[in-house]
Structure 1
Amino acid sequence: MTLLIEKAEHALTAKRDQLTMRWYPDYHLAARAGWMNDPNGLVWFDGWYHAFYQHHPYSTEWGPMHWGHARSRDLLHWEHLPVALAPEGPEDKDGCFSGSAVVNGEELALIYTGHKFHGDNTCDENLYQVQCLATSRDGVHFTREGQVLDTPVGLHHFRDPKVWRENGMWYMVVGARVEDTGMVRLYRSEDLHHWHDEGILAEAPQGMGFMWECPDFFTLQGKQVLMFSPQGIAAQGYANRNLFQSGYIVGHWQPGEAFVQETIFHELDHGHDFYAPQSFLTPDGRRIVIGWMDMWESPLPEQQDGWAGMLSLPRELTVTEDNRVQMRPAREVEALRQDFSRWSVSTLHNKALCVMEHCETAEVVLHWDLAGSDAEQYGIALQDGMRLYIDSQSQRLVLERNYPQLGLCGQRSVPLPRTTELNLRLFFDRSSVEVFVNDGEACLSSRIYPQQHQLMLFAWSGTAIIKECGSWNLK
């Protein structure tokens, strides 16, 4: 263990007992203490799922990035491991930024961005971002191999490598910025150490962002999906309401050829808090994605409690015939279910009804009869702070949070599906809610900060009919 990693471990041990746990998640992954953002290096290796993440162990504010590390047998119960990387070399002296992990024979290899300034750190002209390698035989202790790819001439923002193996070769996509245009660049290697420039895989058209962060490129049901987080897209109507987005483009690609895009950019999650998703393959071949369930420049009230940031549930990806990527909770999540409580509610008319006195960690199922309901608004509320409701006038499903004392108010929404029923799964975990619509048609994820935990069903200005409703306690 290096001196800087040992120092980080001492800091985390000291801080862990000082946390206030009122909003700390029960079944989502969060740091032991301090700051967390992007998931990194999601991978299956030697019988374990590994999740690394951007981490500042000394503060609840973003700072010099380390790589936090946890592992799990089932994607649900996480064991925290020692910090994997600390900014301690000339190539990453100002931060070990985001990256990915691959299994290379008997080794686990981390490929990440070394973040450094040559001079004044307030000037982008002095910024250099290079791609680095670290390896491990046991999946716990890592040997730094140093820089493997330098900053291209003329670039400064060049980060977040995602690596995969195809046709006997390693490939890597890296997010980049040229002036005010975001792009994803492609590289090829035989050994993870020496990389050949394959050019630009995709580039932002006008208005599609000045930087494309955290790219991921994978094959899903015979199609290629470019997933990334663009910065600098203006909000338009209901779309792109967050400061920064995460989404995807579907197309076709094979080595040596151009990526032919078949869709425009689509948002992956429509809630307040979802960024920098990264995908990986399970041993049985499912494509799973996990994202950071927070948003840049949004208040993080848990900072006053000694920690900041958490990751989303693992979600399985599929792609439809019309090239829509869908997300649904990974089936492992069902193992958390304990007893099921069926709510004896079928009709609501101009009233609110308490269905749970204390909802902190639960999976809720709601099957609304859209065709038979005429209420202007009907849905579910967690006290006064969070509401998920059908707005019959706008024909949208709305996720609303209202915490004015914390600076967190606003709505996110998706169009109602063209169906007679609306089936919803909601996952509550102390300071978060994740909503899955009609088995993958849409998803909305947001951080919430309840002071009380009474869960209500409601319908106003008319009648709402519910065909099934209830909840599982989760443990």
Structure 2
Amino acid sequence: MKRIHPNRCRRAALTVLLSVFSAVTLPASAPRSPQQTANTKPTLHFRPQDAKAGDVIPFYWKGDYHLFYLKGPDWAHVVSRDLLRWQELPNALIKGSDPLGPDWESIWTGSVVEHGGTFYLFYTGKNSNDPLGDQKVMQARSVDLIHWTKHPEYTFYADGKIYWNKTINGAIDDKQIYHHQAFRDPHVVWNGRENRWWLALHAMLADGSAPNVGLYTSRDLTHWTPHAPLVVYPASVSGDCPDLFELNGLWNVNCADYHYMQVRDTGAIDPPVQPYDCGDLRVAKTMSDGKRRILIGWIGDYKNDSDAGEYEWGGTLSMPRELYADAAGQLYQRPVREVVRLFDRTALREKRVGLNTRYDLPENYMLTATLFPQSGFGQATLRFRESADRTEGYSLTVDFQTGEIGIGSRYRTFQRKCGIDPYAPLKIRLFVDGTIAECFVNDAYCFTMRIYDSLGTGVSFRSTAPGLTVKDLVVRVCE
């Protein structure tokens, strides 16, 4: 199933058609720590061999980076110690078996936390046949992160007073599309200032007037109290799969379509929605390892594995990125150091690059280069996977006058306005790996795109900006 594919980075309503997802195994008698095998091959982009990867639920615990993710009817589970070598573990959850039960149709996105030696997994139970409600918050528990036991006795539904519940409030098909008829995607975090747990989720006001990021609180992760929403936003915003976290003293809510909102006080009405990425990245979520906040999402497949195809739900996981904030709270991304270190052999080094000079490169690589603008206007373009006759290729284009940067192909372009100085050096870091390109400008502004078509192996720089020079072109590959 698929999402609507935008042609530009913007605030957009993305209709989410989700597949069926997951449930449980019996608890183990003792915890065990996953070990990586010596011959495990590192990868920038994890993907299961027999399926697409969907929404990611990351969780860090004592040196291990866990990724739970939606895979077919299940919650799948992989783990790594270095963010590059992933060990597949048994599925964490499978959907229920009771046709009238809370999670018989599907299991959807959620989150994982630890408290008092127990791990708590919160997820969305989906069943339109459930007489108490289509979507609800459910819980499973584990002592080792591998074997999970469901606890349906702790399931809760929208209250019908603050948050809409069809069983209580009636149908709202005349007011809202199904995407926003929601009570799903629970994300649980500890709020140290309030000394209680917060649970944020995609919800609808009880009168059906507006979607929102709903808020529940708890002292014990079992009994939850509804509160006024964290954020109320118009139907043009896709606020599903909220990822709630604090950076530099500000609470941020990352949404499914690579946009985020900042919450300074609960009850915010239509706050600014800003991009932290641009392109094909979807449903990215974060985890903290105590030193940095790491973000991973999925990069959707295109129909028929072609640039001309329609964007589809699910695909390959993105490379791990570090999400960070400046003093004002603006969010940016850069590659994690483990990824950069993976590219340990130099394939090309040019101190000064001639404009319109074409270089042949390996199929996969990390490219870095610095642009030196002089005039404050005009454009510069990096062409990659360029054909031998130079008529086709993918491109990253910087407009120094408007501050817009875009990545694109002959079929689409993704653009966003970036806070760049039109006279300052501009560093480009481009990763090309199989059918995925991820580009970081000044290790801050990130662009993500699928690149299916086999056009060529060339790279070149072009410019209409007077006096612009390109220096320090370095291309590295993995041994």
Tell me, yes or no, whether TM beats 0.5.
yes
Contact 2:373/2:467 (CA < 8 Å) preserved in 1? no
2:368 maps to 365
Q: Taking structure 1 as reference, are residues 433 and 313 closer, same or farther at Cα in structure 2, changes over 3 Å only?
A: same
Contact 2:110/2:121 (CA < 8 Å) preserved in 1? yes
1:273 maps to 280
Q: Taking structure 1 as reference, are residues 470 and 372 closer, same or farther at Cα in structure 2, changes over 3 Å only?
A: farther
Contact 1:171/1:188 (CA < 8 Å) preserved in 2? yes
CA distance in 2, matches of 1:410, 1:262: 27
1:246 maps to 258
Contact 1:367/1:467 (CA < 8 Å) preserved in 2? yes
Q: Taking structure 1 as reference, are residues 388 and 287 closer, same or farther at Cα in structure 2, changes over 3 Å only?
A: same
Report the aligned-residue RMSD: 3.1
CA distance in 2, matches of 1:169, 1:47: 26
2:210 maps to 181
1:171 aligns with 2:183: no
1:86 aligns with 2:94: yes
1:290 aligns with 2:296: yes
- TM-fit CA distance, 1:260: 5.9
2:37 maps to none
- TM-fit CA distance, 1:137: 1.7
Q: Taking structure 1 as reference, are residues 310 and 422 closer, same or farther at Cα in structure 2, changes over 3 Å only?
A: same
CA distance in 1, matches of 2:277, 2:144: 35
Q: Taking structure 1 as reference, are residues 226 and 308 closer, same or farther at Cα in structure 2, changes over 3 Å only?
A: closer
Counterpart of 1:310, as a letter, is T
User: Which of 114, 118, 123 lines up with 2:125 in the alignment?
Assistant: 114
1:446 maps to 449
CA distance in 1, matches of 2:191, 2:314: 37
Q: Equivalences for 1:408-427 in 2 at 5 Å?
A: 409-415=412-418, 417-418=420-421, 419-427=423-431
- TM-fit CA distance, 1:348: 2.7
Contact 1:34/1:308 (CA < 8 Å) preserved in 2? no
- TM-fit CA distance, 1:439: 2.2
Q: Taking structure 1 as reference, are residues 134 and 453 closer, same or farther at Cα in structure 2, changes over 3 Å only?
A: farther
CA distance in 1, matches of 2:240, 2:345: 41
Contact 2:276/2:446 (CA < 8 Å) preserved in 1? yes
2:433 maps to 429
2:80 maps to 72
1:44 aligns with 2:60: yes
Contact 2:232/2:268 (CA < 8 Å) preserved in 1? no
Contact 2:231/2:271 (CA < 8 Å) preserved in 1? no
Counterpart of 1:334, as a letter, is V
Contact 2:261/2:274 (CA < 8 Å) preserved in 1? yes
CA distance in 1, matches of 2:346, 2:60: 32
2:318 maps to 312
Q: Taking structure 1 as reference, are residues 339 and 113 closer, same or farther at Cα in structure 2, changes over 3 Å only?
A: same
- TM-fit CA distance, 1:467: 1.7
Counterpart of 2:125, as a letter, is G
Contact 2:248/2:329 (CA < 8 Å) preserved in 1? no
1:29 aligns with 2:46: yes
Q: Taking structure 1 as reference, are residues 5 and 386 closer, same or farther at Cα in structure 2, changes over 3 Å only?
A: farther
Q: TM-score, normalised by structure 1?
A: 0.77
Q: State which drifts further: 452-461 or 67-76.
A: 452-461
| 1:191 aligned counterpart, secondary structure | coil
Contact 1:66/1:97 (CA < 8 Å) preserved in 2? no
Alpha-carbon displacement from aligned partner over 1:171-219 (angstroms, at most 9, x marks no partner): 1101113446220111111222221112211100x4643x520112221
1:465 aligns with 2:469: yes
Contact 2:284/2:295 (CA < 8 Å) preserved in 1? yes
1:333 aligns with 2:339: yes
Q: Taking structure 1 as reference, are residues 138 and 54 closer, same or farther at Cα in structure 2, changes over 3 Å only?
A: same
Alpha-carbon displacement from aligned partner over 1:380-431 (angstroms, at most 9, x marks no partner): 32123421233467653321123xxxxx533434447114211011112211
1:388 aligns with 2:396: yes
1:219 aligns with 2:250: no
Q: State which drifts further: 369-378 or 330-339.
A: 369-378
Unaligned runs of 5+ in 2: 1-21, 26-41, 166-180, 387-391
Q: State which drifts further: 134-143 or 411-420.
A: 411-420
| 2:340 aligned counterpart, secondary structure | helix
Contact 1:31/1:68 (CA < 8 Å) preserved in 2? no
Contact 1:84/1:140 (CA < 8 Å) preserved in 2? yes
- TM-fit CA distance, 1:285: 3.4
Counterpart of 1:397, as a letter, is I
2:70 maps to 54
Counterpart of 2:408, as a letter, is E
CA distance in 1, matches of 2:150, 2:70: 17
2:18 maps to none
Contact 1:273/1:294 (CA < 8 Å) preserved in 2? yes
Unaligned runs of 5+ in 1: 7-24, 57-64, 120-124, 230-244, 403-407
Contact 1:32/1:80 (CA < 8 Å) preserved in 2? no
1:130 aligns with 2:136: yes
- TM-fit CA distance, 1:342: 4.0
CA distance in 1, matches of 2:470, 2:116: 53
- TM-fit CA distance, 1:102: 0.7
Q: Taking structure 1 as reference, are residues 171 and 395 closer, same or farther at Cα in structure 2, changes over 3 Å only?
A: closer
Counterpart of 1:468, as a letter, is D
Contact 2:211/2:235 (CA < 8 Å) preserved in 1? no
Contact 2:285/2:295 (CA < 8 Å) preserved in 1? yes
| 1:346 aligned counterpart, secondary structure | strand
Contact 2:247/2:329 (CA < 8 Å) preserved in 1? no
Counterpart of 1:354, as a letter, is Y
| 1:35 aligned counterpart, secondary structure | coil
Alpha-carbon displacement from aligned partner over 1:230-278 (angstroms, at most 9, x marks no partner): xxxxxxxxxxxxxxx321122425xxxx3668961101111x2112121
- TM-fit CA distance, 1:452: 4.9
1:354 aligns with 2:354: no
Q: State which drifts further: 316-325 or 25-34.
A: 25-34
Q: Taking structure 1 as reference, are residues 459 and 277 closer, same or farther at Cα in structure 2, changes over 3 Å only?
A: same
Identity between Structure 1 and Structure 2 (%)? 25
